[in-house]
Structure 1
Amino acid sequence: MQVLRVRRGMSRPVLAGLVGMSPSWVKQVEAGRLQTPKLPMILRIAEALRVRDLAELTGDQSPHVELFAGPGHARLPAVAAVINAFPLAAEDRAAPAAPHLRARLARAWAARHASPHHREAIGALLPGLITDAQLAARQAESAAQRRAAQAVLAETWSLSQFFLAYQPDAALLWRVAERGMVAAQESEDPHAIGVAAWLLAQAHRDAGPGHFEAADAVTLGTLRYLEPLLAEATDEVLAIAGALRFEAAYTAARRGDTGVAWGWWDRADEIARRLPADYFHPVTSFSRAIMGPHAVTVAVELRAGGESVRQATASQDVALPSRPRSARHRIERARGYHVAGQAETALATLERAFEDAPETIRYNGHARSLILEETEARSPERRRRAAQLAVKVGLLAA
């Protein structure tokens, strides 16, 4: 635990606060003066330290249990092969036009939001999209064509990140994130730059507390670029600026900075109110409706039990036009109920999340750790339900 904590750049008081214990307790566990914590506490520690495999924390005698990386999707090898096949020679065929590729991208985003198995939906489309978008960028003849093609390529890399997220190939995810940022900068398109930065900031933050400053640097730097454009911005540019403001709130909440986190949430909400009531950004899900779910996330990351429940209850009827995003919202609400000690409600909410989008919960580390913890619950009924859900998610054998 000490090695992992130091590697993450996390102090004992910070880890203690995240798991609800005292700094002296952390010190005694690390020094071996206390018995190994029970499974629920081990899972909280694993979540705080972003441990992907419990064996990293407890030793090789533990079963191999992936937490923050889900199983490799069946389409991962095909997508990885296209990403790794660096295109040098021009192909004999002509590249599709940028408007044609953008229409295909729009259909791919729509398929993702509509499908309970969204990685399957976009994984089937990505190899062709990546190949054609790269071809269009190589064959562009004028500066205007090149910028348009690079904008499409940047969004194709963004779609790829949604497929690769939480799969067991972090190097591939980082490669795509960086390519997306380069293509976006080449496009000179504010929206493409904002989306690429939004995803790159998440990649930094998910790497752990030692990378929070890098996440903030990407987020705040991009916001400084976008802010002068907002007075006359399109809805999509407004939305990506709002999404980035929330990313600043999210990172502050992960850091435990309450005032900064809610301050950035307020600033994101200001932009949300400028958008049409039915607007929904296809990449970030930013909208008026998403601000309630975002408030749940901030409260949960701040470990504020009462506020987590209040926000989860206030947003329980929010309708989001995306099955995976709806499932993610239910997972965040379940975390809120769990922080407040309402385990029964948390488990019921996770069951609903599985009904919305099974692939979302299979690849969500928070959901996986909560389910495993509930398999050790004192209540036989909760243990039974949690075990059934663990089998569905793939954490336990049938």
Structure 2
Amino acid sequence: MPVDATPDPSDPIAFGQRLLILREKRGMSRPVLSGLLGMSASWLKQVEKGQIQMPKLPMILRIAELLRVRDLSDLTGDQSLSTDLFIGPGHPRLGAVQAAVNDFMLTTSQQAPPTAHVRARLARAWAARHHAPNHREVVGELLPDLIRDAQLAARQADSAADRRTAQAALSEVYSLSQFFVAYQPDSALLWRVAERGMVSAQESEDPHAIGVAAWLAAQAHRDTGPSHFDAADAITLEALRYLTPLLSDADDAVRAITGALQFEAGYTAARRGEEGAAWGWWDQADRTSKSLSPSYYHPVTSFSRAIMGAHAVTVAVELRSGGESVRQAVDSDAAPIPSRPRLARHRIEEARAYQLDGQPEVALSTLERAHKAAPETIKYNGYAKRIILEEVESKTPARRQAAARLAVELGLLAA
């Protein structure tokens, strides 16, 4: 097997060999990985050569996160551990959303609602997403009818101008759909929604719609893994080349999606380990945030002045800077984040920072705060699940009990 391949779970090669293959595929040296694990390079060498036994689950989970291993069976070879920690459970409303996305209604006699009506419902759906703790449930209930009506509005528009307006609304409906579908067990549906959103945005010729669709498409590529980072960058940078000349006359919405894309470029750079580029893009996004109205909060990306502290935590965590991550977490905690799912996501990033800095008790208490803000966010988050599963194995009773309570809440352990 070539060293740049992903191990086949059914291939009976040893754990150490799998670890070596995945480490070299990631482009990470033995001293760097061992240092991040808090172990010696000689220990890691012995593991890779099979001279010592496979580590216990907490260490396996830590290795999996550092090497961006999505399915544990790729690392362990044990198909009973064939678990993608970045895929959550299928939501009960996923089937209805799938059906609406796949239903083109070519022969329907139903009359489309006015695009303004679709827009008003879409605004209410975004508001519900930001304010409801069970936001997937709320959005999943609204989406099927919203998708069908937005499709009809685009198809039945009377003029070219009306059709472009309707396509912009349809693109944003697909954007909302992507938030619902993300981290659920239907990756094909996620890509279908992302691609349709981009096509509708381009048909609309609306800069804001194009920026949002590009932002979500770039995220879909980046979350697929390191082999798709170049594609994520290509989409992000092309969108920025398109939007930047428009900024002098742009409203807050276009400025905000530009800032969100600037941060996305920094996020991908951080995932690559490119510290200078990551913070450079963060600086650009921060300058853009300061050009917004003080109270402005972008309904899709959450981009705002308030979010930049949370973004700084994410950059530091992705760069594996434990002390800096915690410093940024402390600095950012005073900034209000009005969206419950975005606040929960920030708490999860803070928990990663504390875990990285060797403060697992604080990491667990921070995850409890994330769960209180938006239970459905933490339930679908792979990083949160990794921390919890690691701490379920803790030798410290209080940590083990706290992790077990969260694991039961998330359905990772039986009550």
Normalised by the length of structure 1, the TM-score is 0.95
- Give the letter for the 1:110 counterpart: A
Cα offset for 1:143?
0.7
Task: Give the equivalent residue in structure 1 for 2:244.
Answer: 227
Q: Distance in 1 between matches of 2:335 and 2:410?
A: 25
Counterpart residue number, 1:391: 408
- Which one has more relative contact order, counting CA pairs under 8 Å at least 6 apart? 1
- 1:69-218 map, 5 Å: 69-89=87-107, 91-218=108-235
The Cα of 1:41 is off from its aligned counterpart by 1.8
What is the deviation of 1:93? Answer: 2.2
Match among 328, 340, 349 for residue 345 of structure 2: 328
Kindly state the Cα deviation for residue 67 of structure 1 after the two structures are TM-superposed.
1.0
CA RMSD across the alignment: 2.0
One-letter amino acid of the counterpart of residue 131, structure 1: R
Structure-2 separation of matches of 1:172 and 1:21: 41
What SS does the aligned partner of 2:305 have? coil
1:3 aligns with 2:32: no
Q: Deviations over 1:12-45 (max 9, x none)?
A: 4288276566777656544433321221221122
In structure 2, how many angstroms separate the alpha carbons of the residues matched to 1:201 and 1:18? 28
Q: Is the 8 A contact 1:111 1:122 kept in 2?
A: yes
Asked if structure 2 preserves the Cα contact closer than 8 Å seen for 1:96 and 1:132, the reply is: yes
Question: Deviation per CA, 1:78-99, whole angstroms, max 9, x where unpaired?
Answer: 111111223332x212211111
Distance 1:33 1:86, change over 3 A: farther
Deviation at 1:53, TM superposition (A): 3.7
Alignment partner, residue 35 of structure 1: 53
Identity over the aligned pairs, expressed in percent? 68
Q: Tell me: CA distance 1:364–1:8, structure 2 relative to 1, closer, same or farther (3 Å).
A: farther
| Number of equivalenced pairs | 397
Match of 2:29? 13
| Distance in 2 separating the partners of 1:319 and 1:173 | 30
* 1:65 CA displacement: 4.2
- Tell me, which stretches of 5 or more residues in structure 1 are unaligned? none
Cα deviation, 1:58-82, whole Å, max 9, x if unaligned, reads: 2336455441111000001111111
**CA distance 1:212–1:24, shift in 2 (3 Å):** farther
- 1: distance between equivalents of 2:366 and 2:269? 26
CA distance in 2, matches of 1:8, 1:147: 48
Residue 48 (structure 1) aligned to one of 66, 71, 75: 66
**Cα distance between partner residues in 1 of 2:36 and 2:194:** 29
Which stretch shifts more, 105-114 or 59-68? 59-68
Aligned partner of residue 251 in structure 1, secondary structure: helix
Q: 1:97-119: per-residue Cα shift (whole Å, max 9, x none)?
A: 11110000000000000100110
Aligned mates of 1:379, 1:327 — CA distance in 2: 26
CA contact (8 A) 1:8 1:208 kept: no
Retained in 2: the 8 A contact 1:250–1:261? yes
Aligned mates of 1:379, 1:371 — CA distance in 2: 14
List alignment gaps of at least 5 residues for structure 2. 8-20
Q: Distance in 2 between matches of 1:92 and 1:62?
A: 50
Task: Write out aligned runs for 1:279-358 (5 A).
Answer: 279-358=296-375
8 Å CA contact 1:51, 1:67 repeated in 2? no
Alpha-carbon separation, structure 1, partners of 2:124 and 2:333: 29
Q: Flag the 1:212–1:9 CA change in 2: closer, same or farther, 3 A.
A: farther
Q: TM-score scaled by structure 2? A: 0.91
* 8 Å Cα contact 1:9/1:209 also seen in 2: no
CA contact (8 A) 2:135 2:376 kept: yes
1:178 aligns to what SS in structure 2?
helix
Query: How far apart, CA to CA, are the structure 1 residues paired with 2:118 and 2:63?
Result: 44
